[in-house]
Amino acid sequence: MFITTADILSLLAAGIALLALLALMQLRRRLAQMQLVMEQQTQTLLAIQGGVKVLSGEAVTHREDLAGVRRAVERLGELNQQTRMEMRLRDADGSPYTQAIQLIRHGQPRAEVRKLCSLTESEVDLLFNLHGQGIALGQNNGQDD
């Protein structure tokens, strides 16, 4: 029994075909693994994107909240300043004229002096003329707003 060249070539071709088949199976398995990893990475990326959206939305909310707090603090400062002015008036002589003079010296406008001291327009005009010392020039010449 002689082994011919054709037999050797047939065996060699079968061996190569078997190796090619094994390589193809290995490539398919590797491709399936890579697809699985790619799906996992895609899911992770989508989760990260969702997290970023949530965080950016919260950041906007926090900025809006901070702006609201700043506005509230500014309003409280204004109210505090007005309250301190009113407290100074209460501590001063009880006369509305004395209080009005103090308000005028602190640069309060005519309408504010008139409202806080319950004076007539003529009384406020007289006090501004006597005690305004140039303050009255920058205001609306005796007319209420």
- Pair 132, 109: CB distance under 8 Å: no
144 lies in some domain:
no
23 lies in some domain:
no
pLDDT score of 93: 59
Q: Can you tell me whether residue 95 is helix, strand or coil? A: coil
Domains contained in the chain, number: 2
- Domain span including residue 83: 48-91
Q: Can you tell me whether residue 124 is helix, strand or coil? A: helix
Domain end (from 91, 110, 126)? 91
Residues 27, 31, 37: CA angle, nearest 5 degrees: 145
CA distance 56 to 62: 10
pLDDT score of 90: 64
37 lies in some domain:
no
pTM of the model: 0.38
Q: Tell me: do 87 and 98 sit in the same domain.
A: no
pLDDT score of 143: 47
- Average pLDDT along the chain: 86
Q: Tell me: do 62 and 77 sit in the same domain.
A: yes
CA distance 126 to 113: 12
Q: What is the pLDDT of residues 76-97, one digit of tens each?
A: 999 988 888 777 766 655 688 8
Ranges of residues in the chain with a pLDDT under 50 are 136-145
